[in-house]
Amino acid sequence: MNIINRHNDLPWALYREYDNQIDELNLNENIEHLGWSFACHTDIPRLRQGLVGAQFWAAWVNCTKQYKDAPRQCFDQVDVILRFVEKYDQTFQLVTTADGINTAFDDGKIGSMIGLEGGHCIDNSLATLRMFYNLGVRYMTLTHSCNTPWADNWKVDVDNSTVGGPVHGGLTDFGKKVVLEMNRLGMLVDISHVSRQSMIDTLQTTKAPIIFSHSSAFAYCNHYRNVQDDVLQLTKENRGVVMVNFYSHYVNCAPNLQEGDGNLTQVADHIDYIKDLIGVDFVGIGADYDGVDVLPEGLADVSTYPELFAELVRRGWSDDEMEKLAGLNLIRVFKEVEDVSFN
């Protein structure tokens, strides 16, 4: 079984720790001992141990760069992904299509796809969006944890939020144009990080299935980065997929708060919750490795995916169900997004 993880922030770690000087790090070695400022979850030996067959690498820059040089810095992060995929071409293979994922599997490579984490990267420009697509970007998260001039982020749903509540009331007219242009291009629309109303507006606007690249179930853990039940139902109607995040704060909170950072069984509970509510065809994995500083016990790094699947086996999941969770659901959505772009 090949596991497709929809969100990994190794590119940001390369920027943060090495200023994108990729030759200063050997990903062919286990690097968990390096003692980065936080995280150190990903390298080639642990990806192989974790049975990772494909990976969306996130190109992200801080929201403080919005209205400044966010597009240039986001292009830098796309560049570093392209460079490390090329450097380690015996392991990684750049993928820009759904069929390309299966080709990478057949070649014994880890299919490497690019996701743009935050609409602030395009600086209100559809032309910039198109340039990112031309470089290989195949999903964009509409916001990060800040509003753009055309979409509200999740923090507007939090009482006493520092952003002062809803600014746009979801997506603006231009925000809807962004979604439709992504449909036209064949770029997956990611609505992790956005506000509840932005989620609903996107689901009512898009002509193609959406993804939540790294979000969990709100009913199980009441954090506004997670997805509420009615939005989960809309996602089923849309034929999209929710990729469960492993970040402790999105996994382990009321009404199911446990001591410490939580544990692997809670992540399985989120997966089961989504499966039971809307079906196994609409859930996947979006771990957020190298983008978070605390993880549940049992899911310390990219080598631990098999432990999660072993837990699901204990819960009675079938092989077919686990294959859908592992990657077939994402491939199906990717193909349907491509089909919309062709019409």
Of 193, 213, 173, the C-alpha closest to 333 is: 213
Judge whether residue 161 has pLDDT over 80.
no
- Prediction pTM value: 0.97
Strand partners, 194: 153
Judge whether residue 164 has pLDDT over 60.
no
Catalytic residue among 41, 43, 120, 144: 144
Q: Work out the average pLDDT over 24-40.
A: 92
User: Catalytic: 157?
Assistant: no
User: Catalytic: 193?
Assistant: yes
User: Catalytic: 117?
Assistant: yes
CA dihedral 157, 13, 210, 281 (to 10 degrees): -110
Catalytic residue among 43, 152, 269, 288: 288
Q: How far apart are CA 274 and CA 242, in angstroms?
A: 8
User: Catalytic: 7?
Assistant: yes
- pLDDT at residue 163 in the model: 56
Judge whether residue 127 has pLDDT over 70.
yes
CATH number of the domain residue 92 falls in: 3.20.20.140
Of 209, 175, 181, 180, the C-alpha closest to 195 is: 175
Q: How far apart are CA 169 and CA 25, in angstroms?
A: 44
Under the banding of pLDDT at 50, 70 and 90, the label for residue 299 is very high
Number of domains in the chain: 1
Judge whether residue 166 has pLDDT over 80.
no
Catalytic residue among 41, 120, 168, 193: 193
Of 285, 336, 198, the C-alpha closest to 1 is: 285
- pLDDT at residue 165 in the model: 58
Judge whether residue 202 has pLDDT over 90.
yes
Per-chain mean pLDDT for the chain: 96
Catalytic residue among 41, 43, 117, 290: 117
User: Catalytic: 249?
Assistant: no
Interval 185-196: pLDDT, tens: 999 999 999 999
Interval 133-157: pLDDT, tens: 999 999 999 999 999 999 999 999 9
Q: Work out the average pLDDT over 35-57.
A: 95
Range of the domain at 78: 3-342
- pLDDT at residue 39 in the model: 84
- pLDDT at residue 279 in the model: 98
Q: What is the 3-state secondary structure (H, E, C) of 148-186?
A: ECCECEHHHHCCCCCCCCCCCCCECHHHHHHHHHHHHHC
- pLDDT at residue 125 in the model: 98
Q: Report long-range pairs for 144-149 (Cβ below 8 Å, ≥24 apart).
A: 144/60, 144/63, 144/117, 144/118, 144/119, 144/120, 144/193, 145/63, 145/193, 146/63, 146/66, 146/118, 146/120, 148/66, 148/118, 148/119, 148/120, 148/124, 148/175, 149/124, 149/174
